[in-house]
Structure 1
Amino acid sequence: MFLPDAAPHPQSSAEPLIELDRATVVRGGRVVLDNLSLRLVAGQHTALLGPNGCGKSSFIKLVNRELYPLAREGETPVKVMGRARWKVGELRSRLGVVTGDLSRDLQEMPGLDVESAVLTGLFSSLMLPPDAEVSASMRQGAREALERVGAAALAGRAVAELSTGEMRRVLIARALAHQPQALLLDEPTAGLDLVAQRDFLALMGELGKQGITLVLVTHHIEEIIEQVDRVILLREGRVLADGARADVLTAELLSQAYGGPLNVRREGATYFASAG
C-alpha cells in the first residue's frame, strides 16, 4: 500500500490501461480531481473507492471523454490504452462503460427493444442509426452477449419495461458485444435489491475470470468482489491510499476517507462497513 507522494504501484511494468498524470478537472468552479496521478494496468482488476464528491464520477467522465483536464503545454495528463487521442466511438469499442446515466438514457428511447439496445453499442449510439447495416453476425453477437450475462430471455423485451437488475445485465451485454479489453463499472449495484445485488456481483466475478479487466468505481465496499486485486481510495479528488484489499479496507483509512468513524468486518471474501 502507499499514501500520496510514495513510490509508484509495483505493477508499473504491465500494459497500461488508464494513466492519469497530475490530471486536474474543474467543474462548476470547483476542483473535483486535484493533480491526480494513477496508473491502472490491463489484467489487474481494480476498484476506485470513496465517498460521494471524492471525484469518482469525474474520473469516469474523464476516461470516457465527457470531461477534459486542464491543459498543460507539451504534456498529456490522460492516456487510455497508451493513447492520448481517440475517436470516441473507437474508444468505447475498446473500453466498455456501464453507468446509471446510460441506463436512464436507453430506457428513455421510444420503442427500443433489448436486442437493439445491445446492437446500439456497436454504433456508439443510443438508437440504431437509420442507415445502419446490421448484419446477421452482429445480431448473433448481440444474442451471444446476452447469453453470456444470463439475459438471453430478455432479447425481445422493451428496454423501458426492464427492472434495474435486468437493465444492468443488458448494459454489460451491450459493452461485451464489442469484445472490449476492459469494463468500467460505475456503482453497478445501485438500486438493486439484495438478491439482484448478489446475482450481479456473482456475474462480475465470472467476467473477471474470463480475461476482461474490471475497473469498479463505487462507494460501497461490499461491491468489491474477491477478484479485485487492488483498491484505490479517493478523498477530495486525490489518492488517499492504494494497495491490496486487505491493506486499504481498514477502519482507519475508511474513516479518514469518509469523514467519520467506521467499523469494518470481513465475511469470507467480502468486506462490510458500518458506522462506528
Structure 2
Amino acid sequence: SALRRTHNLLTSELSRSRFAQETLDQSTAALADLGERYTDLDSLLSNSKNLLGTLVRSQKSDTWYLETAFYILVTTICWLVFRRLIYGPAWWFIWLPFKFFLLKPVYLLFAVLGITGGSSATAAVSSVSSSISTPPTIRIQPSASGDRPTFRRGMNQRPANVIPVGGGGAKAGYDGRPRDPSPEGSMSQKIGQMAEASREQAVPQKEEPQQPTQPQRRGDGTILQERGDIPRNPKKKMWEEDVEAAKHQMRKRDEL
C-alpha cells in the first residue's frame, strides 16, 4: 500500500510538471508575439501610463468604458460594411440614375423657363455675341510733321513704307481699289477694263510737280526719303483682306 501511495504521488507530480511545462511554453510564445507587436518596453509603459492617467482623471466606471468601446466597435463595423458593400452599388444603381434621369431634366426645364440660371446664361451669350460681332477698330495717326510728301503722278504702285489698313472691307483688292465681283474673264469685266483704259488715255499727262526744297521730317526727327527702286522689306507683313477675313470667319466659327 505504501508503494502504491508513493507511485500515485509520483504520477501526480509528473502530470503537474508536464502541465507546468506546457503552460511555460504557451507563455513564452505569447510573450514572443507581444514582443513583435510592441517595439520596446518603454513604449508599452508610456502607453499604459497615459491610459491609467486618463482613467484616473475621468473617474469613470469600468462599465462606461466597456459600453463606449462596444459602441465604437459597432460603429466601425457598420462603417466598413457600408463603405465596402453598400456605397459602390448604391452610387452606381441609385444615385447616378436618380441624377441623370430626374435631376438633369428638371434642371434643364427650369433653365429653359428662366427660373434658374436664365439671366446669367443670356447675359453671357449676349456678351460673347457682341464681342464677336464688333471687331476692334484701328486708328491710324500720322507720325510726320509738316506738309504731306508728294509723289510723281503715274506711279502704279503705292510707296513701300505705307501699310494699307482697312482697304474697303471684303470687296476691296490688294491695292485698295474696289474689286470686281464678276467672274474672271466675263463680258462685264472686259467692258470695265476697256472703260478704264479709255479714261486713262483721256487724262492729259502733266509735268512732274516741283519737289519741296526742304526735306520732310517725321515727329522723331527722321528725314523721309523716297525709296525709288529700293526693294520692299520682305519681313513687313501686309494686310491681306481675303486671308484675314477667312481667319476671322474660322475664329468666329470655333468660338460658336
Indicate the TM-score class for this superposition, using the shorter chain for normalisation: under 0.3
Larger radius of gyration: 2
Scaled by the length of structure 1, the TM-score of the pair is: 0.16
Structure with greater contact order relative to length (CA < 8 Å, sep ≥ 6): 1
Greater helix content: 2
Scaled by the length of structure 2, the TM-score of the pair is: 0.17
Greater strand content: 1
